[in-house]
Amino acid sequence: MRKPRIPSILTSIALVALALAAAYGVYASLAYTLRTRHPIGYVVGTSMLPTLQPGDLVVIVGVEAEEIAVGDIVVFKPPFRLEPIIHRVIAVERIGGSIYLTTKGDNNRISLPDEIRFPVSYVIGKVVYRVPYLGWVIYVIQTPVAVIPGIGEVKLGFLLIIVLTVIYIAQDILIHRKRKESEEEPSAERDINTSP
């Protein structure tokens, strides 16, 4: 007796859910281990050439304010900017008991207005490692492709997951259908051969 077949849609949903849970678990583990909400980032501009190249993936570790020193490459996000900045610290100042930083890209002639004497609370972490080219993968996955009212941006990565799931389901259905047809053909031939 043949085992009942689990519908491919349920298998696909379970696999996608497991993959997403694993990805979230890895990211959450990195965030916990590296003491920052954003343990990885990517470089898109040329302001940090030749130290960081466009497409580099960077590993970020959370740091206490007192641990930041001139020469460190930090990732920070001013509240009025959409994307974080990855630049080198060129000055650390203590003003009224608070710490303020000034940064500059290695490839920039001067500091940008939003990176002059900003509070250390803007810092996400310090860059401790880079992986060439891998950042482009994250950049592409996080590229918005549509905006759905009430839901927000739909990222390319989410769209790819849906497309790959549909392809997997369609492929599984076709394979199952062909298998079923090939199992039915011999029995039909027997019926024809045994008839008078």
Cα dihedral 19, 20, 25, 28 sign: positive
pLDDT at 192: 52
Cα dihedral 79, 129, 140, 45 sign: positive
Strand-pairing partners, residue 125, are: 75
Percent of residues in the chain assigned helix, strand, coil, to nearest 5: 40, 25, 30
Task: Round to whole Å and give the CA distance between 41 and 78.
Answer: 16
CATH code linked to domain 38-135: 2.10.109.10
The full set of domain ranges for the chain reads 8-36+143-184, 38-135
pLDDT at 159: 80
Which residues, other chains included, contact 173 with Cβ-Cβ below 8 Å and sequence gap of 6+?
8
pLDDT at 7: 59
How far from 118 is each of 13, 38, 51, 67, 139, CA to CA, in Å? 46, 20, 23, 16, 27
SS3 164: helix
Q: Which two tokens stand for residue 183?
A: 């199992």
Task: State the 10-residue block means of pLDDT for the chain, 196 residues long.
Answer: 58 77 88 94 95 97 96 96 95 95 97 95 97 92 84 81 79 80 65 51
pLDDT at 115: 95
Which residues, other chains included, contact 63 with Cβ-Cβ below 8 Å and sequence gap of 6+?
35, 72, 74, 123, 125, 126
pLDDT at 123: 97
pLDDT at 150: 85
